[in-house]
A and B are shown apart, each in its own frame.
Chain A
Amino acid sequence: MKGELKGEGLTVRDLRVTFDGFTAVDGVDLDIRPGDLRFLIGPNGAGKTTLVDAVTGLVKASGSARFGGQELLGRPVQAIARTGIGRTFQTATVFENLTVLQNLDIAAGAGRRWWTMLRRRKEVPEPVERALETIGLSALRDRPAGVLAHGQKQWLEIGMLLVQDVRLLLLDEPVAGMSHDERQATGELLQRISEERTVVVIEHDMDFMRSFARSVSVLHAGRMLSEGTVAEVQADAKVQEVYLGRAAEPVPSEPVATAQEA
C-alpha cells in the first residue's frame, strides 16, 4: 500500500513490554495508515512512551512491529531510524553545545558518505534551509541550541526529523509546556507535515487533540482501550469512564480551540 505519500504504514501486533515482572505494554495492536495524524492518548503511566520506546528499539519488546514491510523489533536503534522512523522525547533533547544549524545539519547527515564527513560544511544544505523556515528558527540558526526556549527546542527537534527525512514521526508530548499560541502553531505545523508523512502524537491535552487529530487511539494500563475518530472515541463509554471522566474535565461537544484563532 504505497501512494504518493512519503509516509508508510505502521503495523503493531500483540506488543508486550515487561519491566522486572511489571507489564507496561500488554498486548497492544495498532494500525496506522500512511498520512494519518494519529493522537495517542491515555492517562499518565498508560504505557504511551514505552510503546514508542519499543517501536524505536530503545526497550526490548515481544510481538511484532512492522513498518514498510520490515520487522522492527530486535533491531538496533540506529537501524530502525534508518528505515525512516524518527522520534522526539518528552523532555526535548537537542545538542545543547551545537548551534541550531549544526543540530539540523547532523540530523540531515546519517546517509552521508564518510569522506564528506571529514570536510567542513561549506553551505547550508537545501533541506536544512527549508526546515529552518518551516520551524521558524532561521533567525536563531547560529545560536547554541542550549539557549533556546522550551518550545523552540521542541520545534528544533521536529525540524531535525524533517531533515532526517523520516516517513513516520513519533512525537512524545511535543506541546507540553507551550503557550496556547505556540500549541496552535505547532498543531498547524503537524497538519502540514502529515500531508507528506505519517505523524503519531502522544498528548494529554484534550483541546489540542480535538483541534488537530485525524484519528485517536486510547491507551489505558498497557492496553488499547478504544480507537477511531475524535467523535467516536469521545462517545465511547469506556473512554469516558477511565480517561475523560477521571480527567475531571467537561467534554465540550464542539471543538473550541479553532474558533478562538483565526
Chain B
Amino acid sequence: MTTTVTSRARLARFRAPGGFLLGAVLLLGVAPLVLPDFRLSLLAKYLCYAIVAVGVSLAWGRGGLLVLGQGVFFGLGGYAMAMHLKLADATAAGETLPDFMQLYGTSDALPWWWEPFRSPLFALVMTVVLPMAVAAALGFFVFRRRVKGAYFAILSQALAAALAIWLVGQQATTGGTNGLTDIQGFFGYDLNDPVNQRMVYLVIAAALLLVMVLARQLFVSRFGELLVAVRDSEERVRFLGYNPANVKLVAYVVAAGMAGLAGALFVPAVGIISPALIGIVPSIGFVIGAAVGGRASLVGAVLGAVAVAWAQSTLSDAFPAAWTYLQGLLFVVAVGFLPGGLASLATLLRNRRTRPDSSGGAV
C-alpha cells in the first residue's frame, strides 16, 4: 500500500507541470496556428474571463468568499488601461482631449485625475494596484467586522452596481453609458492590424498562464492550507492564534488584482470598457464559469469560464432572453447540486467505480 501511495504521489508531482506544459502549447502554439483572426480574438476575450476565474477560484473555491462583485475590480483595471490608451490615441491624433470629452465635455481641460494616466507605467501599475487597494480597504472592514457570507455577497453586488451607476452619471469624464470606446492603439501598436491583435492574444494567454502558476503556488503553500482551514472552520483557526480576517484579506486582494489585470487586458482585446461590462450581471457572470467548471479546481474554473463565455456569445445572439435564464439555472445547479463543478464529476465517477476503503484504520 505504501508503494502505491508513493508512486501515485510521484505521478501527481509530474501532473501539474505536465498539464501546464500542455496548456502552454495549446494556448501559445496550437490556438494561434489553427484559429482564424476572428476566432482568436474571441478566445482572447474568453481568456480574460478565465483570468478573473482564477482569482474567483482562490477567493471562493479555496477561501469560501462568494465574490459576487468582481466586476468592480475588472472595471477599475479596464478603465485604468482604457484611460491611458485614450490619452495616447488623442496625443497620436494631435488632440489634447480624448474624443468623447470634446463631444460631451463642459471644460477644455483634462480632469486632474486623468492626468497621471498619461504615463504608461503609472497606468499599468494602477490596473492591478487600484483594484487591490480598493479590495484591501473594503476587505479590512468587512472581514474584521465578521460580515458573514450572504451579506458579503450582497455588499459586493451593491458596490458593483454603485460603480456602474457612477460611471454612467459621469458622462463628461468617463464616457457614461458608452464607456471608453474606439481604442485604436496599444502602446504604439495599431490595434486594427490583425498581426497586432494576434500579439494581444499572446500577451493575454501568457498572462493567464502566469496567473495560474501564481494561484497554484498559493494553493499548495501553507497559506493555501490555512485558507481552506478558515473556510471550513473560521472559529477553530482563531483558537490556534491566527486572525482569519488577514487570511481572507490576502485571498480577496489577490483575486481583485487578477480581476484588474483581466480588465486591463480586455481593453486591447475588445477595444472597449463600459459600465455594462462591470455591473451586477457581469459580476455574477464572472463566478458562473468557475462554479460550473469547479471553483476549487484551478483548471476547472478556467475551462468553465471559457466554456460559459463561449456558450454565452454563441447562444445570447440567437436567444438573448433565454440565455439569462440559462445562466441563472447553470449557477443554481452547479452550486446546489455539484459544488465541485464539472471538475469533481470525474473524481465522483471514479470513486463510484472503485470504492475507497473508508475504514478508519488502526492506530
> Do B360 and A109 touch across chains, with their CB atoms under 8 A apart?
no
> Do A110 and B361 touch across chains, with their CB atoms under 8 A apart?
no
> Do A106 and B233 touch across chains, with their CB atoms under 8 A apart?
no
Name the segment of A143-151, A217-225, A238-246, A249-257 touching the other chain: A143-151
Q: Does B104 contact A (CB under 8 A)?
A: no
Name the segment of A3-11, A113-121, A190-198 touching the other chain: A113-121
Q: Which A residues touch B222, using CB under 8 A?
A: 105-106, 109, 112, 116-121
Number of interface residues of B (CB under 8 A): 27
Bound form: Cα–Cα A20–B217 in Å: 47
* A160-B217 contact, Cβ under 8 Å, with A98-B225, A106-B226, A112-B222: no
6 tightest A-B CB contacts, nearest first? A110-B241, A81-B241, A149-B360, A77-B238, A117-B223, A136-B363
> Do B241 and A93 touch across chains, with their CB atoms under 8 A apart?
no
Bound form: Cα–Cα A143–B228 in Å: 16
Q: Does B239 contact A (CB under 8 A)?
A: yes
Bound form: Cα–Cα A95–B217 in Å: 21
> Do B363 and A147 touch across chains, with their CB atoms under 8 A apart?
no
Partner of B238, one of A81, A95, A120: A81
> Do A81 and B239 touch across chains, with their CB atoms under 8 A apart?
yes
Q: Which residue of A lies closest to B242 (CB)?
A: A110
> Do A105 and B225 touch across chains, with their CB atoms under 8 A apart?
yes
Q: Which B residues touch A77, using CB under 8 A?
A: 235, 238-239
Known: A95-B232, A98-B229, A120-B221. 17 other contacts (CB 8 A): A76-B238, A82-B241, A86-B240, A87-B239, A89-B236, A95-B229, A95-B233, A102-B229, A106-B222, A106-B229, A120-B217, A136-B363, A139-B361, A139-B363, A147-B360, A149-B360, A164-B241
Q: From residue B110, how far is it (CB to closest CB) to chain A in Å?
A: 41
Consensus secondary structure, chain B interface: helix
What would be 24 A-B contacts, judged by CB atoms less than 8 Å apart?
Answer: A56-B239, A58-B235, A76-B238, A78-B238, A81-B239, A81-B241, A87-B239, A93-B235, A105-B222, A106-B240, A109-B222, A110-B241, A117-B222, A117-B223, A117-B226, A118-B222, A119-B221, A120-B217, A121-B222, A121-B225, A137-B363, A140-B361, A149-B360, A164-B241
Q: Does B243 contact A (CB under 8 A)?
A: yes
Q: From residue B235, how far is it (CB to closest CB) to chain A in Å?
A: 8
Q: Which A residues touch B354, using CB under 8 A?
A: none
Bound form: Cα–Cα A103–B239 in Å: 13
Q: Which A residues touch B318, using CB under 8 A?
A: none
Bound form: Cα–Cα A103–B228 in Å: 11
Q: From residue B222, how far is it (CB to closest CB) to chain A in Å?
A: 5
Q: Does B358 contact A (CB under 8 A)?
A: yes
Q: Does B5 contact A (CB under 8 A)?
A: yes
Bound form: Cα–Cα A106–B222 in Å: 8
Q: Which B residues touch A111, using CB under 8 A?
A: 241
Q: From residue A231, how far is it (CB to closest CB) to chain B in Å?
A: 34
Q: Does B24 contact A (CB under 8 A)?
A: no
Q: Does B220 contact A (CB under 8 A)?
A: yes
